[in-house]
Chains A and B, each alone.
Chain A
Amino acid sequence: MSLFFAYLSVVAALVSGLAALATDKRSELDRLATSLLRRWPKLHARAQCVFSATHYAEYHRNSLFILLGVSGVSAVLASAMALFSGSVVTDTLPFGLPWLHWHIRFDALSAFFYLIIGLVLVAVSLFGPGYVREFEHGKHSLSVLGFFTGLFVAGMELVLLADDAFFFVIAWELMSVSSYFLVAFQHEQASNRRAAFLYLLMAVIGAISIILAYGVLAGFSGGLTFDQFRSVKLTPVWASVAFVLALIGFGMKAGLVPFHAWLPEAHPAAPSHISALMSGVMLKVAVYGFIRFTFDLLDEVYWQWGLVALLLGTASAVLGILYAMQQQNLKRLLAYSSVENIGIIFIALGLALIFFSSGQARLGTLGIIAALMHCLNHALFKSLLFLGAGAILHNTHEQSLENMGGLIHRMPKLSGIFLIGCLSISALPPFNGFVSEWLIFQTALQTGNLDSGVIRSLIPTASAVLALTSALAAGCFVNVYGVAFLGLPRSKHVASCHEVSHQGMLVGPAFLAVFCVLFGVFPTPLIETLNVVTGQLVGSTLPQVSALGWLWVSPVAKEVASYSPFLVLLGILVTVSACYQVFYLRSGRLESRRADTWDCGFGGLNARMQYTSTGFVMPFRRIFQPVFDIDERIEEQKSGPDGFHTQRLRYHLHVSDISWGYVYQPVARSVLGLSRWVSRIQTGNIRTYLAYSFFTLLILLWGIS
């Protein structure tokens, strides 16, 4: 039954894609409808009004996103059924190679990621119609956007269903190609084109290393289905080769540090609701691929793998947030913060690998549950923030934080929802971000049970860096919310904008915000369902989670650590209402009086005197200076005969990613150098060509005799 809904969600996404192709086919549809419905006058009239010139665009746009919504809802239903029943459903589709049809497998792990896709998809389908209206009269037709969105969603869902290497990689690259077209949707700017190209290039290299990783397994198992992979025993060397290839392949798609450069370029280029889907869900599908490969297909894990994943995760986390702080463009900032959160997920996975390899199955399960939970939480609040950024872009046409400000007065409802997003992503207690980060800390704190001293000292340092990251994240999102929403507006657009008109653009993010709070306050039911996932995946669960009742979370044991978010929220509310009673109602209801801000007596405070986001993050730039590639200059334009008085001072600052200088440019230069060297053989002179063929013949003849 759950598989039926899974198929329904894939088909709904595909149908929404195909329906998108009918954007500018209004007249044909009109003729078709009238001819078909001639006999039923009521339907006939209805069709008349639907396909009329004015309403058609509206109906068509809504129908696209309704189909996506249906796909999302059926995905959630499918995952709910599979998670509660804990059943594994397998099937084969008649596509694929003659001797290897597509194998489908819908188990708890795929169901959990289906839940992530479903939730974000419902939010996006609510948000979409209002946001996409702007693209209608733009240069690019809606059909391209709708078609590839449908393909993109279907691709992601198929990746989760795949149970053999061939179908997995097909769905994987279908996802990459369709998202390439979405990133290249607004292709009049050259930066979007460059971002799209870099994105697809990294996707190709990632996909190939995934194919090779499956190749190693296929080599030893003789077949291509995952069941054959599960039964094969690999030698440590080959298993490590497969693991490294998988780490590179999935890490590149997830955005781990050395391969992350495409992420901050690609996500801002795509329309906001697509960047929400990409950042929230596509990165998690990459994590799903990694988990499926390491924990499900490989039968034995080694601690060195865990260490590598831990180190990469820590590097991604701290570098991701440091770069996020230095960005002015809001969507680039959110993209870099996705790199940080993926780093956190890989820290949890690294810990799980280390614990599994040293025999601590329960702590390993805790690590996986922390990682899965952070996947869900990140999907929720990152999509919320991207949709919020999209709403701001839609109303104020501003992407840079430098020109925003005071939005809380003009868009109160949106700013409330955005605040919940910022609170959750900064991992603050009553919200969901904190619960998963707390679980990761609990996993790291159990290093006492490990035997090797080196790991026992490395894990605390890694978790100290994780603490630094979460504090920096709090700083970063104070900067974002403070600069964007509070204070005085810094540009005309922002000053004159008004609340989001289309209801859907508020209901979508609000839907996600509700879930952020819900999973933050009641995490135990979520962890119980995750127990089902790990039970199937690695065969062990966390029995002690609801030892103190379902309001509490006690991952390892009652006395080791326990946290009850509901009571924390209750405590805060009780204290706030007590203070309100005592200090406001009882003491004469003194209303607060409005007056001018304190300006040290000079007067004339204006928006330019506020702290900009560059100013706000200046201390971090100075402290973590070696990590950035900073180009900071002050240009002085002198005037007068001997250049005494300065005409104009211009302060120029550009912070760029060091990975460009150390990783990407050298590779590009070496390839071009190699191709220039090789192209010398095409000299254009026929006699040299004849000489080539002559000497090839002689060498071969000499070789075989």
Chain B
Amino acid sequence: MEITQLSHYQQAILLLAALIALTSFLMLGQSRLLRLVFIFAVQGILLSITTALAADVLDSPHLYISALLTLSLKGIFIPIMLQRLVINMGLHRDMETLRNPARVMMAGTGLMVFSYYVCLPIVKLSPLITLNTIAISMAVVLLGMLLMITRRQAVAHVVGFMSIENGLFFAAVVSTYGMPMVVELGIAFDVLVAAVLFGVFFFHIRSSIDSLDVDQLNRLSEVEK
């Protein structure tokens, strides 16, 4: 069923899905931590908007609560906490020189194509156009992992982890019109606790190896010395 026959709301959802995919792409290319956190905040806000839109399209009331939850949690609270952390850790000035941004970008596009290829059988399942947003959500998840693999900064890892959570939440909202309420709350609670723990860990890592560079964490290796 072509995009043209869709109602405006569904078209809006597709647009927002594309925007979310764009934000995870942008995150791949960022070298400054502060901007990375900012883009993550934008992604959170976009996600909450899509949840709100989906709520009134499918008129399921509990989606409004989860939209609000996502906005407050992933849109505002976590980005601010990360920002304050980066600033008082003094990391906002140093620039992480990405080794080969071009290759990472190409890998990102390859991932996008791959996840679409994988989700093909799902999409053909039913005429619902919104289904191919599942491919987008899988792409966001895989891009989040790629971000964690390519960056050396611990904060970047946290942001990558959170963007994976966003991708999952997006998939839940889009494909199944929201998980049951109990599960929503549970996931939100877990993400919150994870964020708090990340903060705690930054101080521990800082005190143990006085830098947040992940590659220096390799005392526990068994390779033949």
Q: Which residues of A contact B (CB under 8 A)?
A: 676, 679-680, 682-687, 690-691, 693-694, 697-698, 701-702, 705
A698 nearest CB neighbor, chain B only: B114
The 9 tightest CB contacts between A and B, nearest first, are: A684-B221, A684-B218, A682-B222, A679-B222, A690-B149, A701-B118, A694-B145, A691-B149, A685-B218
Is the CB–CB distance between A705 and B117 below 8 Å? yes
Considering the chains assembled together, what is the distance between the CA atoms of A680 and B215 in angstroms?
17
B119 nearest CB neighbor, chain A only: A705
Return the contact of B146 from the options A685, A694, A701 (Cβ within 8 A). Answer: A694
| A680 touching B149 in the complex, CB below 8 Å, given contacts A687-B215, A705-B117 | no
CB contacts under 8 Å to A, within B136-178, are 142, 145-146, 148-150, 152, 157
B111 nearest CB neighbor, chain A only: A698
Listed A/B pairs (22) with beta-carbon separation below 8 Å = A676-B224, A679-B224, A680-B223, A682-B221, A683-B218, A683-B221, A684-B220, A684-B223, A685-B215, A686-B157, A686-B214, A686-B217, A687-B148, A687-B149, A687-B152, A691-B149, A694-B142, A697-B145, A698-B114, A701-B114, A702-B114, A705-B118
Considering the chains assembled together, what is the distance between the CA atoms of A705 and B114 in angstroms?
11
Is the CB–CB distance between B148 and A684 below 8 Å? no
| A705 touching B121 in the complex, CB below 8 Å, given contacts A687-B214, A694-B146, A698-B114 | yes
**List of A residues within 8 angstroms of B121 by Cβ:** 705
Please count how many residues in chain B sit with their CB below 8 Å of the partner chain's CB atoms.
23
Considering the chains assembled together, what is the distance between the CA atoms of A684 and B214 in angstroms?
11
Nearest CB in chain A: distance from B180 CB, A: 26
**List of B residues within 8 angstroms of A697 by Cβ:** 142, 145
**List of B residues within 8 angstroms of A676 by Cβ:** 224
Considering the chains assembled together, what is the distance between the CA atoms of A684 and B222 in angstroms?
7
- Classify the secondary structure of B's interface with A: helix
- Asked whether B219 is an interface residue with its Cβ less than 8 Å from the other chain, the reply is yes
**List of A residues within 8 angstroms of B142 by Cβ:** 694, 697-698
Considering the chains assembled together, what is the distance between the CA atoms of A682 and B224 in angstroms?
10
Nearest CB in chain B: distance from A185 CB, A: 35
**List of B residues within 8 angstroms of A702 by Cβ:** 114, 118
A687 nearest CB neighbor, chain B only: B149
Considering the chains assembled together, what is the distance between the CA atoms of A698 and B121 in angstroms?
17
Considering the chains assembled together, what is the distance between the CA atoms of A152 and B30 in angstroms?
70
Given A683-B221, A690-B149; 7 other pairs, CB 8 A cutoff: A680-B223, A684-B217, A684-B222, A686-B157, A686-B217, A694-B142, A697-B145
Considering the chains assembled together, what is the distance between the CA atoms of A690 and B149 in angstroms?
6
Considering the chains assembled together, what is the distance between the CA atoms of A526 and B50 in angstroms?
94
Considering the chains assembled together, what is the distance between the CA atoms of A227 and B118 in angstroms?
53
Considering the chains assembled together, what is the distance between the CA atoms of A323 and B114 in angstroms?
66
Q: Which residues of B contact A (CB under 8 A)?
A: 114, 117-118, 120-121, 142, 145-146, 148-150, 152, 157, 214-215, 217-224
| A682 touching B145 in the complex, CB below 8 Å, given contacts A698-B114, A701-B118, A705-B118 | no
**List of B residues within 8 angstroms of A701 by Cβ:** 114, 118
Considering the chains assembled together, what is the distance between the CA atoms of A701 and B141 in angstroms?
14
Return the contact of A694 from the options B149, B152, B222 (Cβ within 8 A). Answer: B149
Is the CB–CB distance between A680 and B224 below 8 Å? yes
Nearest CB in chain A: distance from B119 CB, A: 9
**List of B residues within 8 angstroms of A683 by Cβ:** 218, 221, 223
**List of B residues within 8 angstroms of A679 by Cβ:** 222-224
Nearest CB in chain B: distance from A551 CB, A: 73
**List of A residues within 8 angstroms of B224 by Cβ:** 676, 679-680
Return the contact of B120 from the options A686, A687, A705 (Cβ within 8 A). Answer: A705
Considering the chains assembled together, what is the distance between the CA atoms of A686 and B221 in angstroms?
11
Nearest CB in chain A: distance from B219 CB, A: 7
Return the contact of B219 from the options A684, A693, A694 (Cβ within 8 A). Answer: A684
Considering the chains assembled together, what is the distance between the CA atoms of A684 and B157 in angstroms?
16
**List of B residues within 8 angstroms of A680 by Cβ:** 223-224
**List of A residues within 8 angstroms of B149 by Cβ:** 687, 690-691, 694
B221 nearest CB neighbor, chain A only: A684
Nearest CB in chain B: distance from A196 CB, A: 28
Considering the chains assembled together, what is the distance between the CA atoms of A687 and B224 in angstroms?
19
**List of B residues within 8 angstroms of A685 by Cβ:** 214-215, 217-218, 221
**List of A residues within 8 angstroms of B219 by Cβ:** 684
Highest count of chain B CB atoms <10 Å: which of A682, A686, A693: A686
Highest count of chain A CB atoms <10 Å: which of B117, B149, B218: B149
**List of B residues within 8 angstroms of A705 by Cβ:** 117-118, 120-121
B138 nearest CB neighbor, chain A only: A701
A685 nearest CB neighbor, chain B only: B218
Considering the chains assembled together, what is the distance between the CA atoms of A684 and B217 in angstroms?
7
Nearest CB in chain A: distance from B134 CB, A: 13
A693 nearest CB neighbor, chain B only: B145
Nearest CB in chain B: distance from A684 CB, A: 3
Nearest CB in chain A: distance from B10 CB, A: 27
Considering the chains assembled together, what is the distance between the CA atoms of A687 and B218 in angstroms?
11
Is the CB–CB distance between B223 and A682 below 8 Å? yes
**List of B residues within 8 angstroms of A690 by Cβ:** 145, 148-149
B115 nearest CB neighbor, chain A only: A701
Considering the chains assembled together, what is the distance between the CA atoms of A211 and B215 in angstroms?
47
A705 nearest CB neighbor, chain B only: B118
Considering the chains assembled together, what is the distance between the CA atoms of A648 and B152 in angstroms?
68
A686 nearest CB neighbor, chain B only: B214
**List of A residues within 8 angstroms of B214 by Cβ:** 685-687
Nearest CB in chain A: distance from B224 CB, A: 6
**List of A residues within 8 angstroms of B150 by Cβ:** 687
Considering the chains assembled together, what is the distance between the CA atoms of A698 and B219 in angstroms?
29
Nearest CB in chain B: distance from A694 CB, A: 5
**List of B residues within 8 angstroms of A691 by Cβ:** 149
Considering the chains assembled together, what is the distance between the CA atoms of A431 and B26 in angstroms?
94
Considering the chains assembled together, what is the distance between the CA atoms of A691 and B142 in angstroms?
11
A701 nearest CB neighbor, chain B only: B118
**List of A residues within 8 angstroms of B222 by Cβ:** 679, 682, 684
Considering the chains assembled together, what is the distance between the CA atoms of A697 and B138 in angstroms?
12
**List of A residues within 8 angstroms of B220 by Cβ:** 684
B220 nearest CB neighbor, chain A only: A684
Considering the chains assembled together, what is the distance between the CA atoms of A693 and B121 in angstroms?
24
Nearest CB in chain B: distance from A424 CB, A: 56
Nearest CB in chain A: distance from B64 CB, A: 33
**List of A residues within 8 angstroms of B217 by Cβ:** 684-686
B216 nearest CB neighbor, chain A only: A685
**List of A residues within 8 angstroms of B114 by Cβ:** 698, 701-702
Considering the chains assembled together, what is the distance between the CA atoms of A691 and B224 in angstroms?
21
Nearest CB in chain B: distance from A687 CB, A: 5
Considering the chains assembled together, what is the distance between the CA atoms of A701 and B145 in angstroms?
15
**List of A residues within 8 angstroms of B152 by Cβ:** 687
Nearest CB in chain B: distance from A335 CB, A: 38
B117 nearest CB neighbor, chain A only: A705
**List of B residues within 8 angstroms of A698 by Cβ:** 114, 142
A682 nearest CB neighbor, chain B only: B222
Considering the chains assembled together, what is the distance between the CA atoms of A20 and B218 in angstroms?
52
